[in-house]
Amino acid sequence: MGRPSPRGVLVQLLLLFLLFPALIYPLYMLLVRSVSDDEGNFVGAANFLEYLHSPGLSSSFVHSLTISITVTALVVPAAFLLAYGLTHTRFSGRRICSLLVLLPLFVPSLLPAIGFVYLFGSQGIARFLLGGQELYGPLGIVLGNAVFTLPHATLLLLTSLRSVDSRLYMAAACLGAGPWRKFTSVTLPNARYGIINASFVVFTLSITDFGVPKVLGGDYSVLSTEIFSQVIGQQNLTMGALISLVLMAPTVLTLTLDTWARRAHARLSVQNARPVSNMEQKSSPLFGFVCWGILLLPMSSIAVVVIASFTAFWPYDMTPVLDNYFFEEAGYSLSSLGTSAAMALCAAVFGTAFLYTGAYLVERAQIPAPLKRLYRLLLLLPLSLPGLVLGLAYIFAFNSGPFSFLYDSFAILVINTIVHFSTVAHLTFVSALAKVDDNYEKAGRSMGVPAWKTALRVVVQQCRLPLADVFFYLFINAMTTVSSMAFLCGGRHTVAAISIVNMYDSGYLGSAAAMSTLVLAVTFGAGLLHVLFKKIVSAESFE
């Protein structure tokens, strides 16, 4: 490494400096609150002991684990079947199927949950499918979580299965291997890390989600609803802080295990693997049946909400009306949608800029290694931070003290969202930047152009696709996130996702369905823009 570039070091320090109030300080305050009593005196592990001794509180931990493990056990195989069907076989409607898989990503997690009420609740049109089982409770939470984690798992497994070199299949065939042997000796071992990674992701998403248990949980308490009830219902912020830490234990553990597994996998990864091409895929109506069958659940739960948004009062008055789209009576207005959109836009713009700069400095700039390591470590944290916990930590951090001007501001919503989704964005940029020829800056410098100019003029151009990916990732997640907004909203600013929760709670079901549909419309529009952008960029380049 050459001489550290002063400009680079300065910017890096600035970024780290910004991370302090955004991440470190709130976490610190959370920790402090969890070991203090209500007056602010240090009480050590007293809160934790109280937690262990109250049966209601500690059972929520067991419940959370049970649910998340069940969801993982259901979703990962289903996602594997989907991904395998989409990569290794051909069936009718395959391309549409691969697009529809992504649909739950475009809506808040509680939208399909509301859909389940319409489908499987006491008045549900498909109630018989549950066979007398109660929807509200563990079953409902498992179904709801399964729907919203399925696309995440499928995407991961798609990538993993695509990276299996098709020449391995050819080699196996020439050595006499039949289809089952090919699957066990080629497909599965090479997809191993993908399966592990998907399992951890599903587990973490499921255990940290708040929207689904809020709608479908009934009496069955899980950690996320417990935190909410402690903070809101009982005004016991201290216990809320403590349970937040309890919630982080499994997420930190899964993150550690996942990192370890990823390193073990690196040994196996093949460069320039050729994925299974169209000609090599076998036509399989069976897989078509299976894949469309799996998708039936999420599709129907979303579709029913959109339809219900146009009915007067489900299930007693099914006349089609537009009334639900006038939110004044429910106490809200389109302004919460506007706030969501504005926040999402700001989060996307500032988040992309900040995270790209950070990733660039860490990967390609001349900066002392300790600074880089610190930044990398800090950006790994948010992945194990549930949104609810981050929101609560922000309340502690920004209610009083040096940063209190941010409290209840629009800015805090944006910052919180960026931080919450920063890890994936950062990793995306890191892997994208690694693919860009690292000689560009050197070539520029030899021509008298400083590295940072080359970075802007050339490297950024090369990264247009990942930049767009991250931009829309941040935008869509900001539009649909519920957990991270649960504590931060209800002040001067409310986002659409929270207004949906509140309207549902207050009985304005139709309005909740209507707002959900509007959110879907916005995110869908964003998705179309994204696809359009990708088409334009690919047409320009020769890749």
Range 318-337, binding other proteins (CB under 8 A): 328-332
Closer residue to other proteins (CB): 367 or 414:
414
* 144 close to 215: Cβ distance less than 8 angstroms: yes
Q: Binding other proteins by CB under 8 A: which of 35, 201, 237, 474?
A: 237
Q: Which amino acid is at 306?
A: V
Is residue 133 involved in binding other proteins (CB under 8 A)?
A: no
* 328 close to 499: Cβ distance less than 8 angstroms: no
DSSP labels, 295-341? HHHHHHHHHHHHHHTTEEETTTEEEE-SGGG-GGGGT--HHHHHHHH
Closer residue to other proteins (CB): 282 or 373:
282
Q: Binding other proteins by CB under 8 A: which of 73, 130, 232, 306?
A: 232
Is residue 478 involved in binding other proteins (CB under 8 A)?
A: no
Closer residue to other proteins (CB): 249 or 353:
353
In 3-state terms the chain splits into helix, strand, coil percentages (rounded to 5) of 75, 0, 20
Q: Binding other proteins by CB under 8 A: which of 378, 414, 425, 479?
A: 414
Q: Binding other proteins by CB under 8 A: which of 41, 131, 132, 279?
A: 279
Closest CB 378 distance from other proteins, rounded Å: 23
Closer residue to other proteins (CB): 134 or 363:
134
The dihedral built from the CA positions of residue 254, 423, 365 and 369, taken in this order, carries a sign that is negative
Separation in Å, CA 497 to CA 124, 183, 507 = 24, 42, 16
Is residue 21 involved in binding other proteins (CB under 8 A)?
A: no
Site for other proteins in 141-170 (CB under 8 A): 165, 167-168, 170
Is residue 88 involved in binding other proteins (CB under 8 A)?
A: no
Instruction: Annotate each residue in 254-273 with x if it binds other proteins (CB under 8 A) or - if it does not, as one string.
Output: -------------xxxx-x-
The first and second tokens of residue 185, run together, are 């000796």
Site residue total, other proteins (CB under 8 A):
88
Q: Binding other proteins by CB under 8 A: which of 5, 66, 366, 409?
A: 409
Closest CB 13 distance from other proteins, rounded Å: 21
Closest CB 287 distance from other proteins, rounded Å: 20
Task: List Cβ neighbours of 513 (8 Å cut-off, separation of 6 or more).
Answer: 114, 305, 306, 308, 309, 324
Instruction: Annotate each residue in 184-203 with x if it binds other proteins (CB under 8 A) or - if it does not, as one string.
Output: -xx--xx-x-----------
Instruction: Measure the CA dihedral 322/323/328/333, to 10°.
Output: -20
Is residue 171 involved in binding other proteins (CB under 8 A)?
A: yes
Q: Which of 71, 405, 74, 77 lies closest to 216, judged by CA?
A: 71
- Cα 100 to chain centroid distance, Å, stands at 17
Closest CB 371 distance from other proteins, rounded Å: 25
CB neighbours (10 Å) of residue 401? 12
Closer residue to other proteins (CB): 151 or 510:
510
Q: Say if strands 282-283 and 311-313 run parallel, antiparallel, or are unpaired.
A: unpaired
- Stated as kind and residue range, the H or E segment containing 311 is strand 311-313
Closest CB 147 distance from other proteins, rounded Å: 20
The size of the chain, in residues, is 543
Q: Which amino acid is at 91?
A: F
Using CB under 8 A, which of the segments 10-18, 119-127, 299-307, 527-535 binds other proteins?
Answer: 119-127
Closer residue to other proteins (CB): 38 or 438:
38
Closer residue to other proteins (CB): 278 or 446:
278
Q: Which of 207, 364, 182 lies closest to 372, judged by CA?
A: 364
Closest CB 229 distance from other proteins, rounded Å: 4
Using CB under 8 A, which of the segments 16-24, 142-150, 223-231, 249-257 binds other proteins?
Answer: 223-231
Closest CB 510 distance from other proteins, rounded Å: 8
Q: How far apart are CA 307 and CA 303, in angstroms?
A: 6
Closer residue to other proteins (CB): 55 or 448:
55
The dihedral built from the CA positions of residue 96, 101, 107 and 110, taken in this order, carries a sign that is positive
Closest CB 101 distance from other proteins, rounded Å: 28
Closest CB 491 distance from other proteins, rounded Å: 5
Closer residue to other proteins (CB): 27 or 102:
27
Q: How far apart are CA 265 and CA 462, in angstroms?
A: 28
- Cα 426 to chain centroid distance, Å, stands at 14
Site for other proteins in 487-516 (CB under 8 A): 490-493, 502-503, 505-509
Q: Binding other proteins by CB under 8 A: which of 175, 322, 447, 539?
A: 175
Using CB under 8 A, which of the segments 87-95, 294-302, 426-434, 485-493 binds other proteins?
Answer: 485-493
Q: How far apart are CA 185 and CA 106, in angstroms?
A: 36
Using CB under 8 A, which of the segments 90-98, 232-240, 375-383, 421-429 binds other proteins?
Answer: 232-240
Is residue 350 involved in binding other proteins (CB under 8 A)?
A: yes
Instruction: Measure the CA dihedral 51/53/59/64, to 10°.
Output: 30
Q: How far apart are CA 438 and CA 449, in angstroms?
A: 15
Using CB under 8 A, which of the segments 179-187, 367-375, 464-472, 528-536 binds other proteins?
Answer: 179-187
Q: Which of 311, 374, 266 lies closest to 512, judged by CA?
A: 311
* 15 close to 357: Cβ distance less than 8 angstroms: yes
CB neighbours (10 Å) of residue 472? 21
Closest CB 472 distance from other proteins, rounded Å: 17
What residues pair up with 313 in beta bridges, in sequence order? 317
